[in-house]
Amino acid sequence: MITRNDSKRRWPLFEIAMLLLGILFVSPCLLAVINSLKPLPAIRENPFAPPNGLYLDSYRFLFTKARLAGPMVNSLIMCIVVILALITTAPMAAYSMTRRRMASGKFLRLFFLAGLTIPFQIIMVPLLKEFKTIGAASISVLDRVAPAAGVHATTYGTAGETLLAQSGADFSYFALWVHYVSWGLPLCIFIYSGFMSTIPKEMEESAALDGCGSVSTFWRIIFPLLVPCTITVIIFWGLWIWNDFMQAFIIVGPRAQLVFVQLYTFLTDKYVKNWSNIFAGTVVLSLPVTVLYLLMQRRFIKGLMAGALK
Amino acid sequence: MNHPARTHARERMWREFLASLVLCGPAVALYAGFIVLPALMGFGYSFTNWTGWTDNPGFVGLANFRELAADTMFRSSVRFTLFETVLLTLFFTFATMFLAVLLDKLRVMKGLVRGMFFYPYILSILVSALLFRYLANYREGAINILLEAIHLDALAQNWMLAREWAPYFVFALVAWSGLGFFTTLYLANLQTIPTDLYEAARIDGAGPLKVFTHVQFPMLLPTITTNSVLALITGINLFPQIVVTTQGAPGYDTFTIGYYIYHLGVLNNRQGYAAAVSFVTFTALVAVAAVQASLLRRRQVAL
């Protein structure tokens, strides 16, 4: 470390230069924050000037006219339900494939590994077709069940469709959930399998001697040891799903009540296009992520680097 | 009557099988049903004239692949995708390496400065796209306002949709958002270089440049491999960034292969043909990435 220490007493010119470079690098974000607090004419005049007093109309607009609060809640719920599915199914499968003497373990690992290479464009339209088929099938099942529940065909459509509409359920969100989980599985299984090889085998063996079955050994002994890995998965996929625009846009469609789809559909609408609103939108939707990032930068970066496999 | 030991063994095997089913079942079912099956369906559709919405696609044999061979739009998408891929691979392999070496030298404000360079990576593609669209906007964008302020109005233009600038706009957007990721991979690798190597180099009288070429660069080779392969994949799969910015404009100039597949399959109901395009490019990508990884790895061993 001698090379690095001998210049320590000098004025940190190099550090200041790098800091300025960093500020220049994130300046688009800083511009967004500054300009979200200004009305449009002020942005047009000089986007670099600090805001002249607090102009909060754009933020008000987001929550009144654009009704962004609902989608924010929906996106959060989507993050939670997808992550819950991922942090249970993926480690179970990884455990079964790596730690138990399963004949097909090796084959299954390769099978899941192949999933890391499949780009979304390839599966996009066949997947839509698949979901459409499943949706139609479940409607026809509902058609038979609904009359028993006292729901009959209305102007909405068949009895099953009416039942769905009345209960406010929307199949496409379920489809999106299924897609997010299966999309996340290969990477999660890969992360968990890698981590599992660091856990000593004795722990399970003693559990087996105590008469624990494999499933309960997993939940009682292995799952609690996987916490660091689970945190990685939560950070990586939480951020990914919150930020996702493309897959939700394609699977649920432009009406999807999820944050970035809403931001896209309403901000690209020519009639409401206003840079001040756009900036306020980007600031509000990036805020939760930014706060978490500032609070636990190291964990965050580590979690996101898991994507190096994807 | 069965032998008790054999019954016991059989029962154990049965229980083992049930346990595997419970543990692996959900993951295998979801993955096989909603990733592998659609991928295989796509392969099947590449031999049909399926529109995406009709129920019975007609089998057309290799017609889609024959059409592909003569498709000028596909060729221009490939050209643009390769152009972006080359730029991005160079940038994410070399520019990020120099940045990482510089960031590694920081003695104060380490976390702050690194955090700044990483930050855009955590933003949604849509957020970074909107920010860049603002910067590049012709009448209201920051770049043109800045140019006007320093009396260079003549240079002002629509940076996103001007023919000669659109490719660099796409590049800048992807480079800006991905920079932190690739730099961090290098930074992590730099931490693993033992300090006595630096000391030995110093005793031999090596300056910063020599330290870089003789100590850091060789030690960074594994990450150079990883980063170039990841950058290649990023470039070839370029797609959502196009949807939220240029949408292929001006003309068909910024059509990437991914956007072309989306254009055919989702926007123009030519799923059969789109499936053929995706399979040809996917096969090519896997082949190129495998060759690149093995070449770089061999070189790494040789050094």
- Residue B142 has its nearest CB partner, among A47, A90, A124, at A47
Determine the 3-state secondary structure of A17 from DSSP.
helix
- Clarify whether residues B117 and B238 are in a common domain: yes
In this predicted model, what pLDDT tens digit does every residue of B211-248 receive, in sequence order?
888 889 988 988 898 898 889 888 988 999 999 888 88
Coil/strand/helix, residue A190: helix
Q: Among all chains, which residue has been given the structure tokens 């520019």?
A: B95
Q: Any chain A CB within 8 A of the CB of B134?
A: yes
B94 and B238 belong to one structural domain = yes
For residue A54, the model assigns a pLDDT of 83
Give yes or no for B288 touching A (CB within 8 A).
Answer: no
Residue B208 identity: P
Do B40 and B69 lie in one domain? The reply is: no
In a mutational test of the A interface, the residue from B24, B189, B271 whose CB has the highest number of chain A CBs within 10 Å is B24
Same-domain status, B232 and B92:
yes
Residues B113 and B1 in one domain: no
Q: Residue B12 CA to chain centroid, in angstroms?
A: 46
Give the Cα separation of B120 and B128 in Å (integer): 7
Domains of chain A and CATH, by start: 1-55 (no CATH), 68-309 (1.10.3720.10)
> Does the distance separating the beta carbons of A242 and B124 come in below 8 Å?
yes
User: Which of B23, B132, B243 lies closest to A95 in CB terms?
Assistant: B23
Find residues 18-77 of chain A whose CB sits inside 8 Å of chain B.
18-19, 22-23, 25-26, 28-29, 31-32, 43-44, 46-48
Q: Name the residue among A43, A186, A289 with its Cβ closest to that of B31.
A: A186
CB-CB contact of B283 with B227 (8 Å) = no
Comparing CA positions, the residue from A79, A68, A127, A32 lying closest to residue A244 is: A79
**Which residue of A29, A125, A243 is in closest CB contact with B271?**
A125
Residue showing tokens 């690194």: B114
Instruction: Of B148, B147, B142, B178, give the one whose Cα is nearest residue B160.
Output: B142
Distance (Å, whole) CA A39 – CA A94: 53
Question: Please, which pLDDT band fits residue B26 given cuts at 50, 70 and 90?
Answer: very high
Q: For residues A190 and A115, what is the distance between their CA atoms, to the nearest angstrom?
A: 10
Minimal Cβ distance to B39: which of A15, A118, A289:
A118
Q: Which residues of A fall within a CB distance of 8 Å from B45? A: 125-126
pLDDT in tens, B151-182: 888 888 888 888 899 999 999 999 999 999 99
Q: Does residue B77 lie in a domain region?
A: yes
What pLDDT is recorded for position A103? 64
- Is B85 found in the same domain as B214? yes
User: What pLDDT does residue A50 have?
Assistant: 86
Kindly give the interhelix angle for B217-236 and B166-191, rounded to the nearest 10 degrees: 140
Angstrom distances, CA of residue B152 to CA of A6, A31, A90, A224, B148: 45, 21, 56, 62, 6
Measured in angstroms, the CA of A146 and the nearest CA of chain B are apart by 27
Q: Which is it for the CA torsion B127, B132, B137, B143, positive or negative?
A: positive
The arithmetic mean of pLDDT across residues B176-195, rounded, is 92
Task: Please tell me the predicted confidence (pLDDT) of residue A40.
Answer: 86
Is residue B267 located within the same domain as residue B218? yes
Within a domain: B54: no
User: Looking at the domain assignment, is residue B52 inside a domain?
Assistant: no
Asked if residue B209 is part of any domain, the answer here is yes
Residues of chain B contacting residue A208, judged by C-beta atoms under 8 Å apart: none
Within 283-302 of A, beta carbons closer than 8 Å to B belong to: 285-286, 289-290, 293-294, 297-298, 300-301
Determine the pLDDT at residue B271. Answer: 85
> In this structure, are B93 and B22 located in the same domain?
no
pLDDT score, position A244: 92
Residues B26 and B100 in one domain: no
AA letter at A144: R
Q: Answer yes or no: is B151 within a domain.
A: no
What percent of chain B clears pLDDT 70, i.e. is strictly above it? 96
Which pLDDT score is estimated for A12?
82
> Does residue B224 share a domain with residue B180?
yes
> Which residue of A15, A89, A122 is in closest CB contact with B26?
A89
Q: What is the pLDDT of residue A238?
A: 92
Report yes or no on B195 lying in a domain: yes
Instruction: List, for chain A, all residue ranges whose pLDDT scores fall below the cut of 70.
Output: 1-11, 100-103, 155-156, 168, 267, 269-272, 307, 309-310
List the single residue in B with minimal CA-CA distance to A250.
Answer: B266
In the DSSP assignment, the letter for residue A142 is: H
- The answer to whether B145 contacts A124, with C-beta atoms less than 8 Å apart, is no
**B278 contacts on A by Cβ (under 8 Å):** 119, 121-122
Supply the pLDDT for residue A10: 64
Among the partner-chain residues B20, B244, B265, the one whose CB lies closest to the CB of A125 is B265
pLDDT at B4 exceeding the cut of 70 = no
ipTM of the complex: 0.86
- Percent of the residues in chain B that have a pLDDT greater than 90, as a whole number: 36
Q: Which of A26, A239, A250 is nearest to B124 (CA)?
A: A239
Coil, helix or strand at residue A157 = strand
Query: pLDDT band at B33, cuts 50/70/90?
Result: very high
Mean pLDDT (chain B) is 87
**CB within 8 Å: A115 and B131:** no
Residues B1 and B115 in one domain: no
In one letter, which amino acid is A105?
Answer: G
Q: Is residue B252 part of a domain?
A: yes
Amino acid at A51: P
Domain CATH code at residue B282: 1.10.3720.10
What are residue A253's phi and psi, to 5 degrees?
Answer: 105, 170
The verdict on A167 touching B (C-beta cutoff 8 Å) is no
Does residue B1 surpass a pLDDT of 80?
no
The Cα of B184 is separated from the nearest Cα of chain A by a number of Å equal to: 8
Number of domains in chain B: 2
> Which range of residues forms the domain containing residue B106?
63-126+160-302
**Chain A residue with minimum CA distance to B99:** A18
The torsion angles phi and psi of A154, rounded to 5 degrees, stand at -130, -165
| Whether pLDDT at B17 is above 90 | no
CA B293 to each of CA A77, B48, B175, B229: distance values in angstroms, whole numbers, following the listed order: 39, 34, 22, 7
| Secondary structure string (H, E, C) spanning chain B | CCCHHHHHHHHHHHHHHHHHHHHHHHHHHHHHHHHHHHHHHHHHHCCECCCCCCCCCCECCCHHHHHHHCCHHHHHHHHHHHHHHHHHHHHHHHHHHHHHHHHHCCCCCHHHHHHHHHHHHHCCHHHHHHHHHHHHCCCCCHHHHHHHHCCCHHHCCCCCCCCCCHHHHHHHHHHHHHHHHHHHHHHHHHHCCCHHHHHHHHHCCCCHHHHHHHHHHHHHHHHHHHHHHHHHHHHHCCCHHHHCCCCCCCCCCCCCHHHHHHHHHHHCCCHHHHHHHHHHHHHHHHHHHHHHHHHHHHHHHHC
Residue A245 · residue A264 · CB < 8 Å? yes
* Alpha-carbon distance A148 to nearest alpha carbon in chain B (angstroms): 31
The CA distances from residue B188 to A94, A282, A301, B277, in Å, are 26, 30, 11, 38
Same structural domain for residues B170 and B21?
no
Residue pair B52/A129 in contact (Cβ under 8 Å)? The answer is: yes
Is residue A121 within 8 Å of B258, Cβ to Cβ?
A: yes
Both tokens of B18, joined, read 């049930």
Helix (H) or strand (E) holding A263: helix A259-267
